[in-house]
A and B are shown apart, each in its own frame.
Chain A
Amino acid sequence: MQTIDLSDVGLRETNKTLHAQSADTNQTAWEIINPRGAHAIACGLDAPIEVTVKGSTGYYCAGMNQQATVNIHGSAGPGTGENIMSGKIVIEGDASQYLGATGHGGLIVVKGNASSRCGISMKGVNIVVQGNIGHMSAFMGQSGNLVVCGDAGDALGDSCYEARFFVRGAVKSLGADCEKKEMREEHLTLLQGLLDEAGIDADPRDFTRYGSARRLYNFDVDNAGAY
């Protein structure tokens, strides 16, 4: 295990060291101590390494992640894991707004709650939240899956495309063009897989699926009020 004291070496050195790890590095385990809410920690990683941040992080931790696993032993600021391509991010505490925004792939797990606009514009990422999520989550979500073991706030999935949402608790309201969907066998299997991957013990049959009603896919003046 390599340990980096962020408060000592600074953000640039920290990220530079992590970015220097190649695909076949034998230094695969990293620990960052004293993050003190710094922004952009461990963003832009592109190697199969595991980084554990001991404490809470600011904006954009693990942004645009590729291949790496990033564990946050604390809470995570806005835009954590934004545009993640692959790999995994696990947040032990709560996540602020825009979690996994525009993410293309990979998995984000939140042990606590996630704030508003969770999974906004998601493009393939899988997000599993053990607690609740805030309003306007998955706005314009294009693809990928958002799993919520608790409740969802207002306007879930507003203007979404093909992203899928699985919520176990209550949904305060659905956004424009988002509707409740039938939970078929394939969805139960998919959800079970996501819960397993996230290490969460829950029964897929307790969840409800939501997704696009596909009524706003092509502009129609009679739908103008919905836009």
Chain B
Amino acid sequence: MNKHDAKGIPHTTPRQSATFTQDINSDIRRAAATGIYDIRGGGAKRKVPSFDDLLFMGASISRYPLEGYREKCETSVTIGGLHAENPIELDIPITIAGMSFGALSGPAKEALGRGASAAGTSTTTGDGGMTPEERGHSDKLVYQYLPSRYGMNPDDLRRADAIEIVVGQGAKPGGGGMLLGQKISDRVAEMRNLPKGIDQRSACRHPDWTGPDDLEIKILELREITGWKVPIYVKVAGARPYYDTTLAIKAGADAVVLDGMQGGTAATQDVFIEHVGQPTLAIVRPAVQALQDLGMHRKVQLILSGGIRSGADVAKAMALGADAVAIGTAALIALGDNDPKWEAEYNALGTTAGAYDDWHEGRDPAGITTQDPELMARFDPVEGGRRLKNYLKVMTLEAQTIARACGKNHLHNLEPEDLVALTMEAAAMARVPLAGTDWYPGKPGTSY
């Protein structure tokens, strides 16, 4: 390119706008061409303050560590002991989040069950009901009770090891769902009592209750139907964590599942995913505060989700007061979703491995988020289950490694005091000191 014009006056270098980025411009062009907002799967892709902005301090002269391979570091957790006759006992505090049959194939649900059971943890159903694949392969299965009530029936309810009333999801606090017609196979249509091939909307509010007082009665009804045997969780999006946790406890929940904005979804408007909700890092402390204010911390369990990827994330969530975590996206990646080995096919779909998020279209090259028999056949549930088990074991080992370094003989003994923050934002959200200081914004007794 010429650096000067004919008269010798220098050109300025071509400069991309920080406001109108190439990404934004492509959004505008897509909207202009289609007239429809963009729907996609996955969670928020924007960068938000996260667990990456926290560090553990480890041991020192005043805090001594546990011997890595000799001294025990327990990982078990009991969920739902407050009201339920049969609480859920898990070997590891990492559960598999609710993902709908419809969004996922039957074999993918089977693989989640196989992997979770082998690792000693639970899986969760999702919109669309309980499948025999998942019930058959999950030792501990949490049954979601959703606004759509697709596939909801009392026989499955009584077959469940726990019930999760879904009020919201981190990817879309206040949003319902949509399963596009192309993913409605005969089986999905039958389970949902709807014609084949039409778009299936999932309501955003429960059809037979509104507000915390009604929720209390709904929980009573579910307990009566299941004989007070199984725990009842309430899942909320990371919108108003202090109040939602308070109200869920007041309504009689045994556990609160709290899902931050990085949390995945099967299909939601991109604008919803990126602009509604709070980051996972920001919602833990207010929820724990609510539990503590009511004297319910460790009695009502807090299960945190939304962008959990590693044992470090697990350890940080637990240090901030969570009792367990749930994973969705990471579990799908462990099964083989977005694997670069399908790169040519991702390219053919106009995307690339790692960025593929059109799960709702049902053309997943990895055969996981699809109902297409040919694509589904690519996925081996036994191998998938093995991979998930391995991944869960690695996460657990990683969390234990950190806990031992902090001198803890149980993951639950990790505490905020073990952490520092790398940024002011993270310090304020996690209420742990900015690294190198003894201060965080909003710290009681300080004037900032």
Query: Please, which residues of chain B bring their CB within 8 A of the CB of A117?
Result: 207
- Hey, which chain A residues are within 8 Å of B181, CB to CB? 217-218
Which chain B positions have C-beta within 8 A of A101?
A: 149, 207-208
Q: Which interface residue of B34, B208, B220, B226 has the most chain A CB atoms within 10 A?
A: B208
Stretch at the interface among B67-75, B191-199, B327-335: B191-199
Cα A98 to Cα B217 in complex, Å, equals: 14
How many Å lie between the Cα of A44 and that of B395 in the bound state? 40
Q: Is the CB of B36 within 8 A of A221?
A: yes
Q: What residues on B are CB-neighbors of A59 within 8 Å? A: 209, 214, 217-218, 221
Q: How far, in Å, is A182 (CB) from chain B's closest CB? A: 20
Interface string of B194-227 (1 = CB under 8 A from A): 1100110101000111000010011011001111
Chain A residues in 8 Å Cβ range of B153: 64, 83, 85, 104
Q: Kindly provide the distance from the CB of A83 to the nearest chain B CB, expressed in whole angstroms.
A: 6
In the complex, chain A residues 203-227 whose Cβ is within 8 Å of any chain B Cβ: 217-219, 221
Q: Say yes or no: A83 contacts B224, CB within 8 Å.
A: no
Top 9 A-B residue pairs of the complex, sorted by shortest distance between their CB atoms:
A44-B225, A79-B208, A221-B35, A98-B208, A217-B198, A64-B154, A101-B208, A102-B149, A40-B221
Determine if B193 and A104 form an interchain contact, defined as CB atoms under 8 angstroms apart.
yes
- Is B152 part of the binding interface, using a Cβ–Cβ cutoff of 8 Å? yes
CB of B151 to closest CB in A, whole Å: 9
Within 8 A of B (CB), among A24-39: 39
Cβ–Cβ contact B152 & A102, under 8 A: yes
Q: What string of 1s and 0s marks CB contacts (under 8 Å) between A60-77 and chain B?
A: 100110100000000000
Q: In whole angstroms, what is the CA distance A67 to B359 when docked? A: 40
Beta-carbon contact of B36 and A219 below 8 Å: yes
Taking a contact as CB atoms closer than 8 A, the residue among A79, A121, A124 that contacts B203 in the complex is A121
B224/A218 in contact, CB under 8 A: no
Among B208, B220, B227, B228, point to the contact of A39 (Cβ < 8 A): B220
CB distance from B434 to the nearest CB of A (A): 46
A165 CB–B CB distance under 8 Å: no
User: Is A11 an interface position by the 8 A CB rule?
Assistant: yes
Is there a chain A Cβ closer than 8 Å to B119's Cβ?
A: no
Closest to A121 in B: B207
A162 interfacial by beta-carbon distance below 8 Å:
yes
Q: Which residues of B contact A140 (CB under 8 A)?
A: 201, 203, 207
Q: State the majority secondary structure of interface residues on B.
A: loop
- Please give, as numbers and ranges, the residues of chain A lying within 8 Å of B209 by CB-CB distance: 59, 78-79, 98
Number of A interface residues, CB 8 Å?
41
Report the Cα distance A159→B195, complex, angstroms: 14
Partner of B198, one of A15, A83, A218: A218
> Which residue of chain B has the shortest Cβ distance to A11 in the bound complex?
B224
CB-CB nearest in chain B for A227: B201
| Given A39-B221, A58-B217, A83-B154; A142-B207 close (CB under 8 Å) | no
Does B194 contact A142, Cβ atoms closer than 8 Å? yes
Min C-beta distance of B84 to chain A, whole Å: 14
Bound-complex Cα distance A59 to B213 (A): 11
Contact assessment for A15 and B224 in the assembled complex, using a CB-CB cutoff below 8 Å: yes
Alpha-carbon gap, A83 to B146, bound state (A): 12
Bound: A120/B193 CA distance, A: 14
Which residues of chain B are within 8 angstroms of A166 by Cβ–Cβ distance? none
Binding site for A on B (CB under 8 A): 34-36, 148-149, 152-154, 157, 178, 180-181, 192-195, 198-199, 201, 203, 207-209, 214, 217-218, 220-221, 224-228
Contact of A219 among B157, B199, B220, B227 (CB under 8 A): B199
Q: Taking the nearest CB of chain A, how far is it from the CB of B330, in angstroms? A: 30
Residues of A within 8 A of B (CB): 11-12, 15-16, 19, 39-40, 43-44, 46, 58-60, 63-64, 66, 78-79, 82-83, 85, 98, 101-102, 104, 117, 120-121, 123-124, 139-140, 142-143, 159, 161-162, 217-219, 221
Output the nearest chain A residue to B225 by Cβ-Cβ distance: A44
> 4 other contacts beyond A39-B220, A43-B224, A162-B194, with CB at 8 A cut-off?
A16-B227, A63-B225, A98-B207, A98-B209
Contacts A/B (CB < 8 Å), 7 sampled: A59-B221, A63-B225, A64-B153, A79-B209, A98-B207, A140-B203, A221-B34
Complex: A9 Cα to B225 Cα, angstroms: 17
Taking a contact as CB atoms under 8 Å apart, the answer to whether A60 and B152 are in contact is no
Q: Are B208 and A43 interface neighbours, CB within 8 A?
A: no
Which residues on the A side are within 8 Å of B195 (C-beta)? 161-162, 217
A123/B193 in contact, CB under 8 A:
yes
Instruction: Name, among B199, B207, B220, the residue most crowded by chain A CB atoms within 10 Å (CB to CB).
Output: B207
Closest to A99 in B: B208
Q: A140-B203, A221-B36 are in contact. Are A66 and B220 (CB under 8 A)?
A: no
For B148, the chain A residues whose CB sits under 8 A away are 121
Q: How far is the CA of A40 from the CA of B225 in the complex (A)?
A: 9
Q: For the complex, what is the distance from the CA of A167 to the CA of B209, rounded to whole Å?
A: 26
Q: How far, in whole Å, are A39 and B209 apart by their CA atoms in the complex?
A: 13
Decide: A161 and B208 in contact? CB cutoff 8 A: no
**Quick check: B152 and A83 within 8 Å, CB to CB?**
yes
Chain A positions within 8 Å of B149 at CB level: 83, 101-102, 121, 123
- In the bound assembly, the distance between CA atoms of A48 and B214 in angstroms comes to 30
Residue of B nearest to A219 (CB): B199
What separation, in Å, do the CA atoms of A79 and B227 have in the docked complex? Answer: 20
The answer on a CB contact under 8 Å between A159 and B193 is no
Q: Which residue of A lies closest to B200 (CB)?
A: A161
Contacts of B227 in A (CB 8 A): 16, 19
Which residue among B152, B154, B224, B227 has the maximum number of chain A CB atoms within 10 Å of its CB? Answer: B224
B199 cross-chain contacts in A, Cβ below 8 A: 217-219
